[in-house]
Amino acid sequence: MSRIRMRHYRIAMPEGDNKPEKPIRVVMIGDLHNRVFGEGNNQLVEIIQKQYPDVVFSVGDLTVCRAGQEVNLDAGLALLKRLACDCPVYCVNGNHEYRMKIYTETYRGVYQKLVRELQRGGITLLENAHVQVEINGARLMVHGLEIPEKYYKRFSKAFMTAEEIRTLIGEPEEDCYNILLAHNPVFFESYALWGADLTLSGHLHGGLVRLPFIGGLVSPQVKLFPRYTQGLYEKYRHKMVVTAGLGSHSFALRINNPPEVAVLELI
């Protein structure tokens, strides 16, 4: 069984009256792709619970959605439901969930089941929507961006602009700390220009194979040496944390790239 790596980040919120009274502990998970760590995912749940999170963010791809194969929602739903017993859980669709959402003829009723079960579990799914939450005295506006399918196609050079993001989810909130859940980190510059104080992403699986001093080798779009594969990035004073995720699918390969959970302290 692979050992789960914990990656810790400490991020300073802007000075002013919206500073938290004590650090906000955030756990971010991504790209589970049906993977299970221990019976009933007990190993993963225990690791997350020991972080005592104030909130959990899931940045997409709980499952695997592939043409001609049955979609299994069990592992991802069970995990989020267990975590939601301890703290609020917010999630956004990745390209796999988005695929079963738009191809209704192929995936009959599967997406509707996902939405229904998330609601029953008290989990908030943000589909080009936002919600304001207050944690430790700080106001957070959590935005969930659904990225259109064309931006996930292999070998594609399509670029998502800040203007398109505004069309999809509106403007950021001036009086809050704006957190953007956006599955694909490739468009970080646009997220920053849009106004996200902090973007949380996954999707690139850490680059599948990680090389010393270089980083990730290849993206799901088959681009060599992708730029944002894992870690903390900053642009125009806006930050993004990318998780290497927990599972894999088409390329079931992770070398020097263990499954991970990201833990953030917002101070």
Q: Which one, of 211, 197, 193, lies nearest residue 241 by Cα?
A: 197
Q: What is the pLDDT of residues 107-123, one digit of tens each?
A: 999 999 999 999 999 99
Query: Does 148 score more than 80 pLDDT?
Result: yes
Domain encompassing residue 144 = 5-266
Please report the pLDDT score of residue 30 as a whole number.
97
Q: What is the pLDDT of residues 189-235, one digit of tens each?
A: 999 999 999 999 999 988 778 878 787 767 776 678 788 999 999 99
How many CA within 13 A on the CB side of residue 65? Answer: 24
Q: What whole-number distance in Å separates Cα of residue 261 and Cα of residue 43?
A: 12
CB 78 within 8 A of CB 40: yes
Number of domains forming the structure of the chain: 1
Q: What whole-number distance in Å separates Cα of residue 104 and Cα of residue 197?
A: 35
| Lowest mean pLDDT segment, chosen from 94-98, 102-106, 162-166 | 102-106
CB 242 within 8 A of CB 199: no
Residue with tokens 């229904």: 116
Instruction: Show the tokens assigned to 49.
Output: 């619970």
For residue 56, what are the β-bridge partners?
27, 89
Q: What are phi and psi of 189, to 5 degrees?
A: -60, -40
CB 224 within 8 A of CB 206: no
CB 240 within 8 A of CB 202: no
Report if pTM > 0.85: yes
Q: Which one, of 217, 203, 201, 213, lies nearest residue 255 by Cα?
A: 217
CB 40 within 8 A of CB 51: no
Q: What whole-number distance in Å separates Cα of residue 226 and Cα of residue 222?
A: 9
Please report the pLDDT score of residue 215 as a whole number.
79
Mean pLDDT value across residues 231-251: 90
Q: At 133, which helix (H) or strand (E)?
A: strand 129-135
Please report the pLDDT score of residue 1 as a whole number.
43
CATH number of the domain to which 224 belongs: 3.60.21.10
Q: What is the pLDDT of residues 42-78, one digit of tens each?
A: 999 999 999 999 999 999 999 998 877 889 999 999 9
DSSP 14: P
Instruction: Show the tokens assigned to 120.
Output: 């029953």
